[in-house]
C-alpha cells in the first residue's frame, strides 16, 4: 500500500494508509503542531493522543483525498474542544531554569541562551494570540501549509485565512517588539545603577 500524500502534494488523492504508517509518519508531526498550539508538553501529548485515538477509530471511514488535511482538521477540532473543556490554555512557557540551562556546549552557552530566550518569547507570543490567529499562524508558519490547505483544514473562507494569518503575525510581531523594548529598558535601568 502506498503511503499517504505529504502536504506538498496535497491535491493528489491518496489511498487509505495503514495504522502503522499513520503512527510512524504523523506522530512527531501532529505532536509538534499540538505543542505549538497548546504551548505545553503535557497538553500537547494529551492532544496528540486524542487525535490518534480519533484517527484510529475513524481510519476505515477515511475517504481517499488529502490525508494531511483530514488530520489537521481533527487536530484543530480537538484542540478547540480541549480549550473549551479546560476553559483555558496554559500560557506559561518553559520554566526559567529550564531554558536558561544550556543543554550543550555547542554552539555556545550564550547563543543557546539567546535561542532559548527567543523561543520562549515566541511561545509566549503565540500563546497570547487568540485561538483562531494562533491556529492560522501555526498552520501557515510552523507547518508550512498553503492558504488552500489551511482553508481545507479549518473550513474558514480563504479571505478569513488570509486575514487571520496577517493579523496573527502582526500581533506576534508587536509582542516581540514590546518584549525587546522591555529588555532594553531593563538593561538600561540596571546600567544606570
Partner 1 sequence: MSDDCAAAAPLHSAWLDGMLDDDGRAFVEAHLAGCAACRAEVESLGRTRMLVRNLPVRRLPDGVDLLPDLTRSGAGPRRQGPALAVTGGRVVAAALAVVAGMLGGAAFALGGGSSPEDRLVNVPMDLYVADHIVHTVGGPLSTPVVVDGRR
The span of 51-59, 70-78, 80-88, 103-111 binding partner 1 (CB under 8 A) equals: 51-59
Work out which of 37, 129, 139, 172 binds partner 1, going by CB under 8 A.
172
Assign 63 to helix, strand or coil.
coil
Assign 127 to helix, strand or coil.
helix
Q: Which residue in this structure is represented by grid cell 491518496?
A: 14
Q: What share of the chain is helix, strand, coil (3-state, %, to 5)?
A: 75, 0, 25
Backbone angles phi, psi at 103, to 5 degrees: -95, -10
CB of 191 to partner 1, least distance (A): 26
Q: How is residue 73 written as a grid cell?
A: 482538521
180 lies in the site for partner 1, by CB under 8 A = no
94 lies in the site for partner 1, by CB under 8 A = no
The span of 28-36, 78-86, 88-96, 184-192 binding partner 1 (CB under 8 A) equals: 28-36
CB 44 within 8 A of CB 34: yes
The span of 20-28, 68-76, 82-90, 100-108 binding partner 1 (CB under 8 A) equals: 20-28
Instruction: Provide the strand spans (E) within the chain.
Output: none
Residues of this chain that interact with partner 1 (CB under 8 A) are 16-20, 23, 27-28, 31-32, 35-36, 41, 44-45, 48-49, 52-53, 56-62, 118-119, 122, 126, 137, 140-142, 144, 146-147, 162-163, 165-166, 169-170, 172-173, 176-177
Amino acid at each position: 500500500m502506498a503511503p499517504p500524500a505529504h502536504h506538498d502534494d496535497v491535491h493528489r488523492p491518496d489511498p487509505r494508509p495503514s495504522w502503522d504508517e499513520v503512527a510512524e509518519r504523523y506522530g512527531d508531526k501532529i505532536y509538534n503542531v499540538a505543542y505549538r498550539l497548546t504551548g505545553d508538553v503535557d497538553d500537547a501529548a494529551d492532544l496528540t493522543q486524542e487525535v490518534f485515538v480519533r484517527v484510529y477509530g475513524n481510519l476505515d471511514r477515511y475517504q481517499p483525498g488529502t490525508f494531511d488535511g483530514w488530520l489537521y482538521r481533527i487536530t484543530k477540532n480537538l484542540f478547540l474542544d480541549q480549550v473549551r473543556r479546560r476553559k483555558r490554555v496554559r500560557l506559561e512557557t518553559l520554566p526559567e531554569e529550564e531554558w536558561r540551562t544550556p543543554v550543550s556546549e555547542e554552539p555556545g552557552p550564550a547563543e543557546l541562551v539567546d535561542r532559548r530566550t527567543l523561543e520562549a518569547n515566541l511561545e509566549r507570543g503565540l500563546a497570547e494570540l487568540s485561538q483562531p490567529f494562533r491556529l492560522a499562524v501555526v498552520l501557515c508558519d510552523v507547518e508550512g501549509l498553503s492558504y488552500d490547505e489551511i482553508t481545507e483544514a479549518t473550513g474558514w473562507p480563504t479571505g478569513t485565512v488570509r486575514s487571520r494569518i496577517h493579523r496573527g503575525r502582526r500581533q506576534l510581531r508587536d509582542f516581540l517588539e514590546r518584549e525587546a523594548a522591555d529588555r532594553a529598558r531593563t538593561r538600561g535601568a540596571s546600567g544606570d545603577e
